[in-house]
Amino acid sequence: MSPLAAGQPNITAYQKDRETRIMSILNVTPDSFSDGGENFNNGEATLAKTIRSHISAGATILDIGGQSTRPGAVQVSANEELDRILPAVDLIKRLPEANNIVISIDTYRADVAEESIKAGAHIINDVSAGLMDDNMLPTMGKLGCTVCLMHMRGTPETMSKLTSYPDGVIEGVGRELLERVRVAEAAGVRRWRIILDPGIGFAKTQEQNLELLRRLEELVQFPGLQGFPWLVGTSRKTFIGKITGVQEAKDRTWGTAAAIAAAIKGGSDIVRVHDVAEMTQVAKMADAIWRIKEP
Amino acid sequence: MGDRVAMIEQACKEMEASGKIKILRTSSLWETKAMYVVDQDMFVNGACEIETTLGPMHLLDELQAVENRMGRVKVIDKGPRNIDLDILLYEDVTMKNERLQLPHALMLEREFVLRPLCECV
């Protein structure tokens, strides 16, 4: 069982009839791949409206990103990243509707993580699982918060070329994630504070992304990784656009829906989404089909 | 019994506070129904691997000191309590006295001990 934030229901990955949690993506960047900066510099009222709509549509976790990690994205300074994130954290803390909402911070930087948790965020979601900042895992250990460790290789600039998995993508991702778990544990991160993410779209080809979704159950049962909760993010990603022939990221809702259903069947505890209302319905339906008590 | 995970995390901090115990790895946390007195909240169980300069009896003293510092409340035997720290294994030591038995006497009988323990090997 994994706590998200004090007072919030814990994630119980071992419970067959658990409810899938909806993590909504709240980009406060001018250059996100899929929402093109709609929350950036648009003022507090607009951001508050977005947050309220995510919550009323079913999100229980808000994932705030102050810097895009889309392939090839230009990286900004830590100060710039914090200047984007902290006002959003502060705003969520002041919204009565967001009282029971878990605040997650999408960052690979230790100092951004630390300042955000001090400001009242609950979770650090690091796409590099500590690989892009040597201080990240020790900082996570010190903060004692829940963390998401995602599988990727290289950096957002280089990852699209790092797709060789000689023993197969399940074996490769499982082994590399297990290594990150070991380093995190040694840095003082408690096992029950770790959520794993296969990193769909990061250092993977289209076929590898599809295989991860198709065989997610095997990854969830990978020796040494049993018992962890899983977060899966497929929302509006490039491979969905290619397969469905939808150029505009924001129009990839239907393809995303199928991918979310597959992720839930595969054992994902949390799904990270842009289209909160639609994917909440998909998750409810998928839960009704697959998340049932053992007979 | 309040926030059960917070109790466990506090116990980890208390164990390390003296500098005599270092936690190397932890298991996941598992929720289990109370085995003996069933009319109570679910228990949360976990195991950890530690490094220590203390021998088995001194380690037991230290763990009991942590339990006491955390104000362990035990109203009825095997009933609800805020924290319960046991030694399951101490290297290959086999011993038995009125305070301590190693390996832990009921280790193999209890799934909620075995499952977290297996994650630490």
Tokens of B14: 């208390």
CATH code for position B75:
3.30.70.560
Nearest C-alpha of chain A: how many angstroms from B9?
A: 9
Tokens of A20: 């899938």
pLDDT computed for residue B18 by the predictor: 87
Which residue in the block uniquely carries the two structure tokens 């639609």? A278
Residues B20 and A43: their CA atoms lie apart, in Å, by 52
In a domain, A63, yes or no: yes
pLDDT computed for residue B71 by the predictor: 80
pLDDT computed for residue B108 by the predictor: 77
Residues B121 and B117: their CA atoms lie apart, in Å, by 7
Test A14 with B30 for CB contact under 8 angstroms: yes
In a domain, A206, yes or no: yes
In a domain, A195, yes or no: yes
pLDDT computed for residue A19 by the predictor: 96
Q: Does A10 touch chain B (CB under 8 A)?
A: yes
Identity of the residue in A6, A188, A227 whose CB atom sits nearest the CB atom of B28: A227
Asked if the model's pLDDT at residue A175 lies above 90, the reply is yes
Instruction: Tell me how far apart the terminal alpha carbons of chain A are, to the nearest angstrom.
Output: 22
Residues A275 and B75: their CA atoms lie apart, in Å, by 50
Identity of the residue in B25, B44, B119 whose CB atom sits nearest the CB atom of A1: B44
Instruction: Tell me how far apart the terminal alpha carbons of chain B are, to the nearest angstrom.
Output: 30
Which residue in the block uniquely carries the two structure tokens 């969830």? A220
In a domain, A4, yes or no: no
CATH code for position A257:
3.20.20.20
The 3-class secondary structure across B47-114, one letter per residue, is CEEEEECCCHHHHHHHHHHHHHHCCCCCCCCCCCCCCCCCCCCCCCCCEECCCCEECCCCHHHCHHHH
Nearest C-alpha of chain A: how many angstroms from B84?
A: 18
In a domain, A49, yes or no: yes
pLDDT computed for residue B1 by the predictor: 45
Asked if the model's pLDDT at residue A32 lies above 60, the reply is no
Contact by Cβ (8 Å): B66, B24: no
Name chain A contacts of B3, Cβ cutoff 8 Å: 6
Contact by Cβ (8 Å): B83, B108: no
In a domain, A8, yes or no: no
Q: What is the pTM of this model?
A: 0.92
Asked if the model's pLDDT at residue B33 lies above 50, the reply is yes
pLDDT computed for residue B36 by the predictor: 65
Mutate to test the interface with B, among A145, A190, A195, A196 (most CBs of B within 10 A): A190
Test B28 with A185 for CB contact under 8 angstroms: no
In a domain, A3, yes or no: no
Phi, psi of A2 (to 5 degrees): -125, 125
| Count of domains forming chain A | 1
Identity of the residue in A144, A188, A192 whose CB atom sits nearest the CB atom of B28: A192
pLDDT computed for residue A38 by the predictor: 62
User: Which ipTM value was assigned to this complex?
Assistant: 0.85
Percent of chain B with pLDDT over 70: 84
Asked if the model's pLDDT at residue A37 lies above 70, the reply is no
Q: Does B120 touch chain A (CB under 8 A)?
A: no
Closest CA to A123 of A6, A225, A237, A32: A6
pLDDT computed for residue A295 by the predictor: 65
Name chain B contacts of A2, Cβ cutoff 8 Å: 28-29
Taken in order A144, A147, A151, A154, the sign of the CA dihedral is negative
Name chain A contacts of B5, Cβ cutoff 8 Å: 1, 3, 10, 192
Percent of chain A with pLDDT over 70: 96
Q: Does B24 touch chain A (CB under 8 A)?
A: yes
Q: Which residue has the higher pLDDT, A64 or B75?
A: A64
- For A156-169, the pLDDT digits (tens) are 888 989 999 999 99
pLDDT computed for residue A41 by the predictor: 60
pLDDT computed for residue B73 by the predictor: 63
pLDDT computed for residue A97 by the predictor: 94
Which residue in the block uniquely carries the two structure tokens 């979770």? A123
Which residue in the block uniquely carries the two structure tokens 């093109």? A36
Q: Which residues constitute the domain of residue A44? A: 21-291
pLDDT computed for residue B77 by the predictor: 64
Test B5 with A228 for CB contact under 8 angstroms: no
Identity of the residue in B3, B27, B31 whose CB atom sits nearest the CB atom of A191: B27
Contact by Cβ (8 Å): A3, A10: yes
Strands B101-102 and B95-96 turn out to be antiparallel
Residues A30 and A35: their CA atoms lie apart, in Å, by 9
Calculate the average pLDDT of chain A.
94
Mean local confidence (pLDDT), A181-202: 96
Question: Residue A289: how many CB atoms within 10 A of its CB?
Answer: 11
Mean local confidence (pLDDT), A57-75: 89
Question: Residue A42: how many CB atoms within 10 A of its CB?
Answer: 13
Test B31 with A227 for CB contact under 8 angstroms: no
Test A228 with B26 for CB contact under 8 angstroms: no
In a 3-state reduction of DSSP, which class is residue B16? helix
Residues A186 and A179: their CA atoms lie apart, in Å, by 11
Question: Residue A11: how many CB atoms within 10 A of its CB?
Answer: 23
Residues A35 and A129: their CA atoms lie apart, in Å, by 25
pLDDT computed for residue B109 by the predictor: 77
Asked if the model's pLDDT at residue A31 lies above 80, the reply is no
Mutate to test the interface with A, among B3, B4, B5 (most CBs of A within 10 A): B5
Q: Which residues constitute the domain of residue B74? A: 4-120
The 3-class secondary structure across chain A, one letter per residue, is CECCCCCCCCECCCCCCCCCEEEEEEECCCCCCCCCCCCCCCCHHHHHHHHHHHHHHCCCEEEEECCCCCCCCCCCCHHHHHHHHHHHHHHHHHCHHHCCCEEEEECCCHHHHHHHHHCCCCEEEECCCCCCCCCHHHHHHHHCCEEEEECCCCCCCCHHHCCCCCCCHHHHHHHHHHHHHHHHHHCCCCHHHEEEECCCCCCCCHHHHHHHHHCHHHHHCCCCCCCCCEEEECCCCHHHHHHHCCCCHHHCHHHHHHHHHHHHHCCCCEEEECCHHHHHHHHHHHHHHHCCCCC
In a domain, A62, yes or no: yes
Residues B94 and A203: their CA atoms lie apart, in Å, by 49
pLDDT computed for residue B54 by the predictor: 97
| Count of domains forming chain B | 1
